Chains A and B, each alone.
Chain A
Amino acid sequence: MINAVGREIPDEILEITGKEPFQGNYYRDDVPMTKIGPTIRPVMNNQKSKLVANIREALIKCEAHDGMTVSFHHHFRDGDLIVNMVMKEIHDMGLKDITICATSLGKAHAPLVPMIEDGTITGIESSGVRGAIGEAISQGKLKKLAIMRSHGGRVRALTTGESHVDIAFIGAPTSDDYGNLRGIGGKADCGVLSYAIVDGNHADYCVAITDCLVPYPNFPAHIAQTKVDYVCVVDEIGIPSKIASGAAKPTTDQRKLLMAQYCTDVVVNTPWFKEGFSYQTGVGGASIASTQYLAEIMRERNIHMGFGVGGLTKAMCQLLDDGMARVLLDVQDFDLDAVKNLKNVNHHRIPAGVYANPLNKGAVVNKLDYVVLASLEVDVHFNCNVVVGSDGMITGAQGGHPDTAQGAKCAIVICPLMQGRIPAICTDVTTVTTPGESIDVVVTDYGVAVNPARPDILEALKAADCVPLKTIEELRDIAYSIVGKPEKVEFEDRVVGIIEARDGTIIDVVRQIKEI
């Protein structure tokens, strides 16, 4: 069946998954739905200790079994040690047919590949998969369909019961013996535990893993004792230097600075840039530079940000400290400055569901004026691909891309016209991960294109005469004139993964890569 972004979703896939094809951004708006709760074991006995000696004991007590689903969060980013630690134990116990439901998986998790190959892991649900696991999925090594969903989509899936977690493993920088968890105060601080909060609410069992046990009560808890079954103390849960991998020096790459300047010019010349505006940006060099340019103009014009949201960096926290932003809402910290900045009383932690779940009574992203995003590819329909590389290999993550792009009044994607010899602006993206209807402006090093569905933005930018405006087709043609029109990547027929839209419909599928 052809879905609303023109992608063919095989009937067989719709049948296996029980899902519908993507029908447009607002398909499930105002449609009644029921939430699903977990099956829990109440702790009434005040003699019961939640402490377990090791992960094996936790797994046994949580009734680990073949075919179960275990979940993890990615707040430790490339410094995460929890996923490999737990999965090694599961592997050593001889358990099979495990599904991992992670908020994201990255390069740190390459040791899982042999477990995919030997049938320990047969399912993966994640916002994206980088590195060797992505390659393994693209090569068809994972038995079941991989499911890629956004941060907001994951909360939705757990809340509706589309996805059910048997045991959630929550790495916590600090915990007390009764499972009050905090993102700070330990050896491997990640600041917030926002992505794991839904796991605490919806998994049958919840195991906290910490390397810093603190006296009871570890308050204020970011995940409370009422959600946690067991606490396991290990030597090390994360590598601090790799957790804060966003702590890069400001970029000196002029191409990124050029795009950052265009991006800022777009922001400050559109109608929502006024006192109290809201803003989200990412961790890339151009995004951070754009925030710095924006800060200069905010100071010049005495305009203050009402709130900033998202994965946060030093650049955003600086705005708060300088009084240029009123409030920050935090779901993830990309550098240690952002972690430290949580001391600021106006820097608030929010759960991933509050941030981006499309099927609650209104997520924070709905209140965004601007979001600045990146993309591997953008096509002439403004569809974005942030998951599958132009070589057909799974290599990225949706993260909050589809959530914020849909929510924001002005969603800006920064994307160099060419990635090496690959045209990033193209006729059709390899895989649609964010629908074009969510994307308003595309900023490249060769010019800026506005989605024709947004004549208001186009008029504002024309009137300001601030950036080189092009149509998206013109940008594509420039790219093709320089590097040529790329041949389509060849895939096998077999579908190895699905890309969920925010609402759980299927926006695209990922097929097995063809070996050359």
Chain B
Amino acid sequence: MSNPNKYRLRRTMMFLNCQKPGLIKDPYVYKPDSIMLDLEDAVAEREKDAARYSLYHALKEIDYRGVERVVRINGLDTDLWREDIRCAVAGGCDSIRIPKTETADDVRTVEYAIAEAEREFRRPEGSVLIMAALESARGVINAMSICDSSERLFGIALSGGDYSKDLQVSISGTGVEFMGARQHMIIAARAAKVQCFDTVWTNLDDMEGFRKEVETIHAMGFDGKSIVNPRQIPIVHKIYTPKEKEIIFAEKVIKEIDEKKAQGIGVFTVDGKMIDIAFYDGAKRTIALAKASGVYKGDL
């Protein structure tokens, strides 16, 4: 089972409350890479049914124009999550986000329910991917096993609000309280070859702070960031847009590796730098980012 969407570009994943149909009707105009249709915390307890109803019909009726549709289900400690999954899979969602993931078993439990729903609603096996939100110290510590838990799992995401409470700290805006978790999670994700996403920034009056945080997590290697407002999208995308010299270099690396491989050469130099096959995926990613950002005009 291999889902071609597993490694798609996910620089921005925008939270949208399924309780508000006006929000979920056309978020694609803001051009996020993914949207996260939330059935969990944003939805009032007594509105869970209504939110599922809106979600189902939105997924069925609306052409999201290529934007990935991730559904955040309610926690496994509730009696809501199974129906959330049925509803999301029946509607045609691309992925399920598991909140408060603490162990690999959590992922496997959800995977089983997804597979059942795929059969029930006659969707191809493996068509629905999974991402896991790590919201506790235990979840973060178990990042490696969670990343390895399922072929469907495309990535893990830090959920800073709950995590900071569990860590008994407050969110400072400097990121100091997330240092360990971020570093640990990105290493685990890379080791398991899955993606890693950073937590939301909720202070919309401090867009400069947001920009700095995105620069930090970009430098750390995160694949993208969860966002709460469309204003944040262009900032993230700009930071994730490769610079012209990076694009030129990546282009050369890809072309040279393809050429040298045919000639049986493994190691060579590009612009004075030693290059081997290990650079290939990174260069491909740079070109993919450049294409998504609309700055690539080449032929790769």
| Interaction A to B | yes
**Given A252-B204, A252-B231: A258 in contact with B29 (beta carbons within 8 A):** yes
The proximity string for A residues 460-479 relative to B, scoring 1 for CB distances below 8 Å and 0 otherwise, is 00000100000000000000
Of the listed residues B29, B229, B294, the one surrounded by the most CB atoms of chain A closer than 10 A to its CB is: B29
Residues of A within 8 A of B294 (CB): 465
A254 touches B26 (CB 8 A): no
Residues of B within 8 A of A485 (CB): none
The proximity string for B residues 264-283 relative to A, scoring 1 for CB distances below 8 Å and 0 otherwise, is 00000000000000000000
Kindly state whether residue A76 has any CB partner on chain B within 8 Å. Answer: no
Q: How far is the CB of B32 from chain A (nearest CB, A)?
A: 11
Kindly state whether residue A446 has any CB partner on chain B within 8 Å. Answer: yes
Which chain B residue shows the least CB distance to A418?
Answer: B26
Residues of A within 8 A of B26 (CB): 445-446, 482
Residues of A within 8 A of B25 (CB): 482
Kindly state whether residue A488 has any CB partner on chain B within 8 Å. Answer: no
A446 touches B29 (CB 8 A): yes
The proximity string for B residues 213-254 relative to A, scoring 1 for CB distances below 8 Å and 0 otherwise, is 000000000000000011100000000000000000000000
Alpha-carbon gap, A446 to B28, bound state (A)? 9
A445 touches B29 (CB 8 A): yes
Residues of A within 8 A of B30 (CB): 254, 258
Kindly state whether residue A257 has any CB partner on chain B within 8 Å. Answer: yes
Q: How far is the CB of B57 from chain A (nearest CB, A)?
A: 13
A255 touches B29 (CB 8 A): yes
B231 touches A257 (CB 8 A): yes
Residues of B within 8 A of A482 (CB): 25-26, 62
Q: How far is the CB of A470 from chain B (nearest CB, A)?
A: 12
Alpha-carbon gap, A465 to B230, bound state (A)? 22
**13 A–B contacts, CB within 8 A, in A order:** A252-B204, A254-B30, A254-B229, A254-B230, A254-B231, A257-B231, A258-B29, A258-B30, A445-B26, A445-B29, A446-B29, A481-B63, A482-B25
Alpha-carbon gap, A496 to B192, bound state (A)? 72
Alpha-carbon gap, A465 to B295, bound state (A)? 10
Residues of A within 8 A of B230 (CB): 254, 258
Residues of B within 8 A of A254 (CB): 30, 229-231
Chain A residues with a Cβ closer than 8 Å to the other chain, count: 10
Alpha-carbon gap, A482 to B204, bound state (A)? 30
Interface of A is mostly: helix
B residues in contact (CB < 8 Å) with A: 25-26, 29-30, 62-63, 204, 229-231, 294
Alpha-carbon gap, A257 to B29, bound state (A)? 12
Residues of A within 8 A of B229 (CB): 254
| A-B CB proximity, top 8 nearest | A254-B230, A445-B29, A254-B231, A446-B29, A254-B30, A258-B29, A258-B30, A254-B229
Other A-B pairs, 17, CB within 8 Å; known A255-B29, A257-B231, A446-B26? A252-B204, A252-B231, A254-B30, A254-B229, A254-B230, A254-B231, A258-B29, A258-B30, A258-B230, A445-B26, A445-B29, A446-B29, A465-B294, A481-B63, A482-B25, A482-B26, A482-B62
Q: How far is the CB of A120 from chain B (nearest CB, A)?
A: 43
Residues of B within 8 A of A252 (CB): 204, 231
Alpha-carbon gap, A255 to B23, bound state (A)? 11
Q: How far is the CB of B35 from chain A (nearest CB, A)?
A: 14
Alpha-carbon gap, A258 to B63, bound state (A)? 20
Which chain A residue shows the least CB distance to B63?
Answer: A481
Residues of B within 8 A of A257 (CB): 231
Contacting B at CB under 8 A, from A413-466, are 445-446, 465
Which chain A residue shows the least CB distance to B26?
Answer: A482
Contacting B at CB under 8 A, from A239-254, are 252, 254
Alpha-carbon gap, A465 to B204, bound state (A)? 30
Alpha-carbon gap, A224 to B6, bound state (A)? 75
Alpha-carbon gap, A257 to B26, bound state (A)? 15
Q: How far is the CB of A19 from chain B (nearest CB, A)?
A: 42
Alpha-carbon gap, A446 to B26, bound state (A)? 9
Alpha-carbon gap, A152 to B229, bound state (A)? 42
Alpha-carbon gap, A446 to B230, bound state (A)? 15
Alpha-carbon gap, A255 to B204, bound state (A)? 16
Alpha-carbon gap, A445 to B63, bound state (A)? 16
Residues of B within 8 A of A445 (CB): 26, 29
Alpha-carbon gap, A478 to B287, bound state (A)? 31
The proximity string for A residues 386-410 relative to B, scoring 1 for CB distances below 8 Å and 0 otherwise, is 0000000000000000000000000
Q: How far is the CB of B67 from chain A (nearest CB, A)?
A: 14
Alpha-carbon gap, A258 to B230, bound state (A)? 9
Of the listed residues A254, A445, A482, the one surrounded by the most CB atoms of chain B closer than 10 A to its CB is: A254
Q: How far is the CB of A284 from chain B (nearest CB, A)?
A: 18
Q: How far is the CB of A286 from chain B (nearest CB, A)?
A: 14
Residues of B within 8 A of A255 (CB): 29
Alpha-carbon gap, A250 to B230, bound state (A)? 16
Q: How far is the CB of B216 from chain A (nearest CB, A)?
A: 24
The proximity string for A residues 47-90 relative to B, scoring 1 for CB distances below 8 Å and 0 otherwise, is 00000000000000000000000000000000000000000000
Q: How far is the CB of A87 from chain B (nearest CB, A)?
A: 41
Q: How far is the CB of A220 from chain B (nearest CB, A)?
A: 44
Alpha-carbon gap, A470 to B178, bound state (A)? 44
Residues of A within 8 A of B63 (CB): 481
Alpha-carbon gap, A252 to B231, bound state (A)? 8
Q: How far is the CB of A319 from chain B (nearest CB, A)?
A: 23
Which chain B residue shows the least CB distance to A257?
Answer: B231
Residues of A within 8 A of B62 (CB): 482
Contacting B at CB under 8 A, from A84-119, are none
The proximity string for A residues 243-273 relative to B, scoring 1 for CB distances below 8 Å and 0 otherwise, is 0000000001011011000000000000000
Residues of B within 8 A of A446 (CB): 26, 29
Alpha-carbon gap, A254 to B63, bound state (A)? 20
Q: How far is the CB of B300 from chain A (nearest CB, A)?
A: 18
Q: How far is the CB of B200 from chain A (nearest CB, A)?
A: 16
Q: How far is the CB of B297 from chain A (nearest CB, A)?
A: 9
Alpha-carbon gap, A465 to B296, bound state (A)? 12
Which chain B residue shows the least CB distance to A444?
Answer: B29
Q: How far is the CB of A271 from chain B (nearest CB, A)?
A: 23
Contacting B at CB under 8 A, from A255-303, are 255, 257-258
Q: How far is the CB of A443 from chain B (nearest CB, A)?
A: 12
Contacting B at CB under 8 A, from A475-502, are 481-482
